[in-house]
Every structure is written in structure tokens, then in C-alpha cells.
Structure 1
Amino acid sequence: MSTESADGGSANPRIEVTETAAERALELLEAEDYDTTEAGLRLFVQQGGCAGLSYGMRFDEKPEADDAIYDHHDLRVFVDPASLKYIEGSILDYESGLQAEGFHVENPNVVSECGCGESFRT
């Protein structure tokens, strides 16, 4: 298990989270009565979508033994090794506006996305 911190830990974190995304995720975790000192947001990649891969997110009570753990603005983010190779260097953000509201992954490894932006290929 590796641990990196955006608040003074590793100089080059492999996954970053904006303050807005962290605040929103923490609000949702607390609303569901998770202990935010142990629980966190799991970010993963799964097969699916018209471009081949899609992002997934869920809350987990604790990390798995082989997860990379990233701490950003008091939010813990868990990433399994298989997913990390697809999303290394990504930034998780939260957008809210007239058109849409939700979490968005800015992934530098993407070579193409489907038209709706829900799936990608590296």
C-alpha cells in the first residue's frame, strides 16, 4: 500500500483532487455517516462505454491492501493498481453549472473519448 499526500507529502502525486471536488466528496461521505478518517472515495476504471473504458467512483469504508492512497484536502482517495495505470496523472474535479453537475476526471492519458464524454481510450 502506498500513501501520498497533496498537503506536503509526495512532491509528485499520481492522482490529484481539486479542493472543490474534495469538499463535495467529504460532504457526501459525511451525509452517509462514513468515518472520513478511514473511509474515502474509490476511483477506478472499468470496461465499458463506446470508447472501451469508463470511470467509476464509489465510497469505501477502508482501502484494500494493494491500493494506492492519496490524501487531498482531507479526502482519502483509493485507487487499485490495475486502474492506476490508466489514470495516473489525472485530476479529479467537481463541476457545477447550468448544463451539468458532477465529478469529472481530467486524464492526460486519454487518446480519444466518446461523443458523450462517458468513456475513453488510452
Structure 2
Amino acid sequence: MKKKNYYKLKLTNSAIYYIEKLMKKKKNIKFRIYVTGGGCSGFEYGFKFEKKINLDDIIIKKSNIFIIIDPISIQYLIGGEIDYIENLNGSKFIINNPNAKSTCSCGTSFNI
């Protein structure tokens, strides 16, 4: 488990606030960010809360929260910024990814 933020992954205050708020409802959980194949642009972001940490997971501590990312997903997220937005379309986590060559209009999928 690597624990330092060598990957320059940033979180906005809004994302930190919302993750902390959700984590207060459950004990001993971490926020996992992952990338899977699919979506309308090629890759898709995923977010979930879970207790399990794999031996090869990267753990990034921000404020009072821990973010878990698997070693394959982290390569797509280097230098990115995680944000949480609320608007007329709903509320969601988004990633502003400097590595993405294109993204879909909803912001949940991207292409490298």
C-alpha cells in the first residue's frame, strides 16, 4: 500500500465536505475511485465507499478522509481534480482530468 500523494490528485473543498459527510454515517469506510472500460467515450469513472483495501491499492489522505485507488486506475487520474457538484441535473462527483483527450457531455466517461 502506497500512502503518499505522489500522483498530484486534488480534491475540492466541496468534494472533501461531501465525502466527510457521507463517511460520518458509516464507520471504517474509505472512498474508492476507479476507472473501468465503457461509457460513451471509452473509459468511465466510478466512485464507491468500501471497507476493503487491497495490498496493491494506493491510499491518499486528504483532510480527514482516505481515498483508495487501484494501481491500474491511478495511471488515468494523475494530476486530476475530484469535485462534487449539485445542479439542475442532480448531484455527483466529477473528475477534471488533464490526461483526457475528450470527455462525454455528462462528464462520467473519457478517452485518452
The TM-score normalised by the length of structure 2 is 0.89
Q: Does 1:34 align with 2:27?
A: yes
Number of residue-to-residue matches in the alignment: 112
Question: Post-superposition shift, 1:19?
Answer: 2.2
- CA offsets per residue over residues 72-102 of structure 1, 9 Å max, x none? 1111000100001111111111112344322
1:113 equivalent to 2:103? Answer: yes
Instruction: Give 1:117 deviation, angstroms.
Output: 2.4
**Amino-acid identity (%):** 31
Corresponding residue number in structure 1 for 2:3: 3
- Give the match for residue 103 of structure 1: 93
> CA-to-partner distance for each residue in 1:18-38, whole Å, 9 max, x for gaps?
22211211211222x222xxx
Q: Which structure 1 residue ranges, 4+ long, deviate > 6 Å from structure 2?
A: none
Structure 1: where are the runs of 5+ without partners? 5-9
Pick closer, same or farther for the CA change 1:82–1:13 going to 2, 3 Å.
closer
RMSD (CA atoms): 1.6
> What is the identity, as a one-letter code, of the residue corresponding to 1:25?
I
Separation (CA, whole Å) in 2 of partners of 1:19 and 1:116: 21
Q: Cα distance, 1:64 vs. partner?
A: 1.2
Of 44, 47, 51, 1:54 maps to: 44
8 Å Cα contact 2:94-2:107 kept in structure 1: no
